[in-house]
Amino acid sequence: MKHTIKTITCIGAGYVGGPTMAVIAQKCPEIKVNVVDINPQRIAEWNDTDLDKLPIYEPGLKEVVKEARGRNLFFSTEVEACIREAEMIFISVNTPTKTYGVGKGMAADLKYVELSARQIARIAPEGKIVVEKSTLPVRTAQSIKTILEAEGNGNKFQVLSNPEFLAEGTAITDLHNPDRILIGGDQDEDGLAAIQALVDIYAHWVPREQIITTRLWSSELSKLTANAFLAQRISSINAISALCERTGADVDEIAHAIGADTRIGPKFLRSSVGFGGSCFQKDILNLVYLCRHFNLPEVADYWEGVVKMNDYQKHRFAKQIIDSLFNTVSGKKIAFLGWAFKKDTNDTRESAAIYVAKELLDDLAEIHIYDPKVKKEQIFRDLEYVYSQDPTQSFDPSVLQSLITIHEEPYQALENAHAIAILTEWDEFKTYDWQKIHTRMLKPAFVFDGRNILDASEMKKTGFEYRGIGKG
């Protein structure tokens, strides 16, 4: 049965739902695209006439929203009405690591996905194509199908898996020029027709040979595997960075040398203070949990090593700061450049900065933070959350208020600092007047470059005690 898709609804107006649907609306002007969310503030921000107030910062996003919003792109809290109206429904809700009960700290929390599936089943007047856009454990489509069939008033639903591979900070270019689109579905006649309906949407702008279609389980597991491989590369180069620091080798030279091998390739070999972001850790832990569930402990341990290495890298960075500052940072001003988990985003989820800050705060450092895009309230929320997760510590928020200062402007944050730590690779940090900064710091003036973005020899010439990652 051929489907003609006239209306799409996406449940979840977050970092994925918002930009992905904006681009579908931009490229398919004849399709009406509704993006719905239970968070009214988020929807109000998506609808703000001032495009600088969109809830997420992504280069190029404003332009896409400006073109499509009000034409065929609509943001709304009317979840039920929009479910009724659409022939195809994307589920793009959050799937964080579980913080309670069975699988706590490891498994993906699927409660928002389940709620969405139940809501669709309950109110959809007829069968729909339901598309998993969220990252999900392999075989989740089966659970969604079971719910849809059990609660769906006899309607027939098709479930597709269409994982998203965009990276934050480059979301719009990734969506406009994806390496591939992946669509998994049942291989019977109805399943293939549903796959074709989604292929037809992407084919508006993605060459057909870049649209890969697979069975459901392969598509779901490809997403977890892709993130695990990407994160593994970072942990691998970071492991080597530790050895470089002991031996006098330079990790950037090594990355260049090995990346020239076409079998390895040059991308994703930037050694850093550790990977952050909402997904790498969550998705690997989810993979580890699945492996244990299927009684594959060796496979689970293998992938868990990627996360352990990342924790080690963040800890190593914080420890190096404390060790270099004569074994204590108590009462010392440490300036943080950057709080976001990478440049060109205001997202701070699992940012390495949070964990480095916590270790320094535990040693009573006074931390001054400047990030060009992250809001003050978000930084406090991140720190309060990380303390709330540490059962060994009683948490007094007033201490946090007295030890943390957030700056709207970088030079004040750096003035009279004992040390500067670069946590995010924002381009603007490279353009600062480092000579001026040096004169205004306490001496010895330490710079811990967690992103290797500054020129080590220039910094040393200026008089800094400069420490890069993996620089022997």
Ligand X SMILES: NC(=O)C1=CN([C@@H]2O[C@H](COP(=O)(O)OP(=O)(O)OC[C@H]3O[C@@H](n4cnc5c(N)ncnc54)[C@H](O)[C@@H]3O)[C@@H](O)[C@H]2O)C=CC1
Q: Which residues are catalytically annotated?
A: 279
CA–chain centroid gap for 90, Å, is 19
One of 278, 346, 378, 452 touching ligand X (CB under 6 A): 278
- 413 labelled ligand-binding: no
Give least dist CB 381 to ligand UGA, A: 19
Residue 48's Cβ-count burial label (10 Å; 0-12, 13-18, 19+) is: middle
Tokens of residue 99, six digits: 């913080």
Touching ligand X, residues 158-197 (CB under 6 A): 164, 166, 168
What are the angstrom distances between the C-alpha of 409 and each of 122, 181, 323, 406?
Answer: 51, 41, 28, 9
Q: List the single partner that 230 binds among ligand X, ligand UGA, none, CB under 5 to 8 Å by kind.
A: ligand UGA
Closest of 438, 103, 105 to residue 292, by C-alpha: 103
Tokens of residue 236, six digits: 């691998």
What's the CA gap between 429 and 441, in Å, rounded? 16
Q: Under the criterion CB under 6 A, does residue 38 sit at the interface with ligand X?
A: yes
Q: List the single partner that 79 binds among ligand UGA, ligand X, none, CB under 5 to 8 Å by kind.
A: ligand X
What's the CA gap between 249 and 141, in Å, rounded? 48
Give least dist CB 187 to ligand UGA, A: 26
Q: Under the criterion CB under 6 A, does residue 312 sit at the interface with ligand UGA?
A: no
Task: Give me the residue label for tokens 């065929």.
Answer: 72
Judged by CB under 6 A, the stretch of 86-94, 184-192, 291-299, 381-389 that binds ligand X is 86-94
Q: List the single partner that 468 binds among ligand UGA, ligand X, none, CB under 5 to 8 Å by kind.
A: none
Contact flags string 93-132 toward ligand X, x per CB under 6 A: xxx----------------x--xx----------------
What's the CA gap between 415 and 366, in Å, rounded? 13
Give least dist CB 224 to ligand X, A: 10
Q: List the single partner that 222 binds among ligand X, ligand UGA, none, CB under 5 to 8 Å by kind.
A: none
SS3 471: strand
What's the CA gap between 74 and 76, in Å, rounded? 6
- How many Cα neighbours within 13 Å face the side chain of 97? 21
Judged by CB under 6 A, the stretch of 62-70, 211-219, 264-272, 382-390 that binds ligand UGA is 264-272
Judged by CB under 6 A, the stretch of 5-13, 142-150, 207-215, 269-277 that binds ligand UGA is 269-277
- 95 labelled ligand-binding: yes
In sequence order, what DSSP letters do the residues of 399-412 get, joined into one string? HHHHHEEEESSHHH
- 134 labelled ligand-binding: yes
- 455 labelled ligand-binding: no
Return the HEC string of 83-150.
Answer: HHHCCEEEECCCCCECCCCCCCCCCECCHHHHHHHHHHHHHCCCCCEEEECCCCCCCHHHHHHHHHHH
Q: Which residue is nearest to ligand X (CB)?
A: 14
The sign of the torsion formed by the CA atoms of 17, 20, 23, 25 equals negative
Q: Under the criterion CB under 6 A, does residue 345 sit at the interface with ligand X?
A: no
Residue 416 corresponds to which amino acid?
N
Task: Give me the residue label for tokens 């492991």.
Answer: 239
Residues binding ligand X (CB under 6 A)? 11-17, 36-39, 42, 79, 92-95, 112, 115-116, 134-135, 164, 166, 168, 278-279
Instruction: Pick out the residues of the known binding site for NAD(+).
Output: 12-17, 37, 42, 93-97, 134-135, 168, 279-282, 349
Residues binding ligand UGA (CB under 6 A)? 135, 164-168, 227, 230, 234, 268-270, 272, 275-277, 279-280, 341-342
